[in-house]
Structure 1
Amino acid sequence: MYPTFVTRGLLQLRLITSTKPLNLQLHTGVSCFAAVKKTSAAGGVMGLGKGKKKGGKLTTMEKQQLPVETDPEKLVNYVCGSNIYTTGEDVKLKDDSEYPEWLWSLNTGAAPRIEDLDPNTKEYWLRVRAAGMRRNNKLRSMRKF
């Protein structure tokens, strides 16, 4: 038997010199078909969701009025809106002593600044990492190419 590169060379030579087209699959490492990139006017590849959408006429959506609880007795004693099912009632509030102590020490305001955090904590380094990623993403979006 011939070595594989000689066999491939002979088959390629036979394909070039043959008058009839041969339907042989050659494993030469070279693709036979080139992909054609079709782009839209918006700059994206066609069919990938970018660009102008074709559709019917746009209509205005009407605002949906959601019911708001106005009963002060119910607002004080229940967590309004906690029941997502069509049947049943909202969760009833308990006394403050029945809730854990850590619940009352949660920060409900703005997050502390990075400068105010201790560098020896995990929260500090998570915030530094997030700030670095935001900075890199901003710089990457400003590139011209």
Structure 2
Amino acid sequence: MWRTRVSSLFSLTVSSAAVSCRLLPAATTATQQHRHYAKPLAGLGKKGKMKLGPTMEKVRLPVESDAEKLVTHVMGSHPVKEGREDVKLKDDSEYPDWLWTLRTGKPPPLHELDSNSKEYWKRLRNLALKEQNKLKKLKKF
């Protein structure tokens, strides 16, 4: 019969005659920590017994189906106020000229912007930040 000691935390006893192994913690049961898990709330596991919180009802907004009104008015120009009519569209000649020169598509590329403008430097900073974030994602640590 022979015995082997392994580390100070555990004691391992191997008996060649009985071929038995025991792995015991070195700490006594009085000093061991016990896990106390939170108790489940009553009724949460069962459907229909208890509500989990306030429910939100889906708001149904009225949708205009009149084709003539859709073409002649700005729909939803007063969504909050009750009893207000939507703004009626005017003839193109009644709007200012600068309105028709506004860019509605993608912003201009960086090389088209003036390098002395604030917009240029903001765009340059955002592009640099995006590039730095892409490089940080590639790092492992």
- Structure-2-length-normalised TM-score: 0.48
Which structure has the highest helix share of the two? 1
- Structure-1-length-normalised TM-score: 0.47
Q: Which has the larger radius of gyration?
A: 2
